[in-house]
Amino acid sequence: MPMEAMKMAWVPYVPLEDRSALEHLETGRFCMPYYMPLQHIEDEDHTDISFLYPLDPPILCYFDWETDDCEDYAYGNKDVPEDEKERFKEFLKEKVREGKRELKQPKEARKKAIDGMDPKTKEAFENIKFYKFYPVKTPDTPDVTNVKSRYINKYYRNAHYLM
């Protein structure tokens, strides 16, 4: 009979003061930026914005400037009254400009940091090699020859050598 059926299952003890922190704990999130600072990461380019339009009650809007058109979005939005459509369109354009500015600032900072980088360091980053290690095949270990992959993660990209 399983222990859960007898209400005797194993549950880890977490002190009361730490329990609320467990709800906000993010698992599986890690960040290793700037190991490949000379390469641009595609995941950084977010073209969608969310904003509150100040009406009574405020209107929450989501807009993607690559896929949506400002005028179609402004005049097609049924939540905005007819007399507010023009002001909403100008407000939307201003929010898009702010979003593009926020997206441009890290790119310019990255470019400035790369330009100001020591030539020796820059050359070291250009010639860096990554190795990915897999377990040696023994009778005790499973066969991993069919699942070997060069991909490491989105920061390191692909390994140069598999071992």
CB 43 within 8 A of CB 106: no
Give residue-wise pLDDT tens across range 11-62. 777 676 666 665 666 666 555 555 666 666 665 667 788 888 888 788 888 8
pLDDT band at 120 (very low <50, low <70, confident <90, very high): very high
Least confident of 48-57, 68-77, 81-90, 125-134: 68-77
Q: What phi and psi values does residue 2 have, to the nearest 5 degrees?
A: -70, 150
In this structure, the strands spanning 59-64 and 151-153 are unpaired
Question: Structure tokens of 141?
Answer: 């270990």
Alpha carbon distance 89, 58 (integer Å) = 15
**Distance (Å, whole) CA 126 – CA 29:** 27
Rounded distance between C-alpha atoms, residue 42 and residue 11, angstroms: 41
- DSSP bridge partners of 64: 48
Q: Using alpha carbons only, give the angle 54, 57, 61 rounded to the nearest 5 degrees.
A: 60
| H helix or E strand, kind and range, residue 96 | helix 85-115
